[in-house]
Structure 1
Amino acid sequence: MSDFDFPDDLLAAEREAWAAIQAGTLTPELAGAVQDRLTAYAAEAGVDRHRAEMALKRAVRHPKG
């Protein structure tokens, strides 16, 4: 379980990016949009962006682990 309370829009964006990665269709625009939203979330929440990014990836890519 994550120590972060990610907003639904950020989780949805990361899920979309992960699906695009798996399909080989990730665009720089989508990757940038997810990164921008993650950076904004980290600033708003007052947390380390890198830790938040790793937790977000775990939450999306390994939801049961």
Structure 2
Amino acid sequence: MTDYSSPQIPALRRSWVICPYCKAKFALHDNKAECRGVFVKCTRGCGKEFEIIIVNGKQKR
């Protein structure tokens, strides 16, 4: 049985996850992404660890 009460929104836009310390582009996410509790180490510039927090398709911090 298909649930038609909440229509699926297609991924229309992709954005970069940006390192909050050195502002290097790190990874891509789309406008439907939700993320919290993922800790990564910047491999592009500074080498510092930071948490990826994405709410409503936008990166926080």
TM-score, with structure 1 as normaliser:
0.26
Larger Rg: 2
TM-score by length of 2: 0.27
Please identify which structure carries the higher strand content.
2
**Higher RCO structure, 1 or 2 (CA under 8 Å, sep 6+):** 1
Name the structure with the higher helix share.
1
